[in-house]
């Protein structure tokens, strides 16, 4: 599945380079018009990141999300600073299909297990941002990629599997926002090792060929941000690459 992604600061679509708030590019687009068009072209779900909410929970862009959800009928998954039951309840009540949990799945693992049980595995996406070190350990970073944890990707997935974990958004942060191509080896490996997980691949996609190669790895979805915004290829081309028989 192709999942277009939009990062939002102060109601405006932006892209951060390597997660750096000081290195952002603004896009002068009407997001609701984009989503309406994407829906008409066959997009099933879009990925929104509330960068204001990620920085400060009190600054969550709920008004914008309400406007989007009331103006379009496309499914939406939202991430960015979601840390409490209240955050999740508010978004699901708005009509959000899935909430994306990042740092909390490291900092508050018991609470995440609880959420998987309360809301169900289809409503929760774990966002695991990794950097692969010289020993090929997939080290997890949190807090906007600032803090390296002592956990690796595999052990966190294994921890949540008994709780019904289904959706994992895995980003190779060395690739994100760079247009340098995705880490095909990474997604091939984790798709083979965790066949019950619906992986969403994110980071580095720059050509339609990247989409074809990612589909071969076994990931269930591809998150595409900058390359669509900058028209490296069209949404029609992206969907066609995903749908074509291998």
How do the domains of the chain map onto residue ranges?
2-243
Please tell me the CATH superfamily of domain 2-243, with its number: Aldolase class I (3.20.20.70)
Q: What is the pTM of this model?
A: 0.93
List the single range of 16-20, 26-30, 206-210, 238-242 with lowest mean pLDDT: 16-20
Choose, from 129, 172, 176, 210, the residue flagged as catalytic.
129
- Grouping H, G, I as helix, E, B as strand and the rest as coil, residue 50 is strand
User: Residue 92 burial by CB count (10 A; 0-12/13-18/19+): exposed, middle or buried?
Assistant: middle
> Residue 25's beta-bridge partner residues?
15
Please check the confidence at residue 57 and state whether its pLDDT lies above 80.
no
- Give the number of other CB atoms < 10 A from CB of residue 39: 16
Give Cβ neighbours of residue 211 (< 8 Å, ≥ 6 apart). Answer: 2, 205, 222, 224, 238, 241, 242
Q: Judging by DSSP bridges, how do beta strands 98-101 and 75-79 pair with one another?
A: parallel
Is 7 in the active site? yes
CB 9 within 8 A of CB 144: no
CB 149 within 8 A of CB 139: yes
E runs forming strands in the chain: 2-9, 12-17, 20-27, 45-50, 75-79, 98-101, 124-132, 138-142, 147-152, 167-172, 198-202, 221-224
In whole numbers, what is the pLDDT of the chain averaged over residues?
91
pLDDT at 2: 97
Please check the confidence at residue 81 and state whether its pLDDT lies above 90.
no
More confident residue, 167 or 143: 167
Please check the confidence at residue 246 and state whether its pLDDT lies above 60.
no
- In degrees rounded to 5, what are phi and psi of residue 5? -120, 140
- How far, in Å, CA of 160 to CA of 36, rounded? 35
Among 56, 94, 97, 105, smallest CA distance to 74 is for 97
């Amino acid at each position: 599945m192709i999942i277009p992604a939009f990062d939002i600061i102060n109601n405006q679509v932006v892209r951060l380079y390597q997660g750096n708030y000081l290195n952002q590019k603004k896009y002068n687009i009407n997001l609701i018009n984009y989503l309406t068009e994407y829906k008409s072209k066959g997009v099933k779900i879009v990925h929104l990141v509330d960068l204001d909410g990620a920085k400060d929970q009190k600054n969550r862009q709920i008004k914008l999300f309400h406007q989007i959800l009331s103006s379009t009928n496309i499914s939406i998954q939202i991430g960015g600073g979601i840390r409490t039951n209240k955050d999740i309840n508010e978004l699901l009540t708005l009509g959000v299909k899935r909430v994306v949990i990042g740092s909390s799945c490291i900092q508050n693992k018991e609470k995440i297990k609880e959420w998987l049980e309360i809301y169900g595995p289809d409503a929760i996406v774990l966002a695991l941002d990794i950097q692969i070190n010289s020993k090929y350990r997939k080290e997890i970073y949190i807090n906007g990629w600032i803090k390296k944890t002592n956990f690796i990707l595999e052990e966190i997935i294994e921890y949540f599997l008994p709780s019904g974990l289904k959706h994992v958004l895995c980003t190779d942060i060395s690739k994100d926002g760079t247009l340098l191509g995705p880490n095909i080896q990474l997604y091939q490996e984790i798709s083979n090792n965790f066949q019950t997980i619906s992986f969403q691949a994110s980071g580095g996609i720059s050509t339609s060929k990247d989409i074809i190669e990612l589909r071969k790895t076994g990931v269930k979805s591809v998150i595409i941000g900058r390359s669509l915004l900058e028209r490296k290829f069209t949404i029609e081309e992206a969907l066609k690459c995903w749908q074509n028989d291998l």
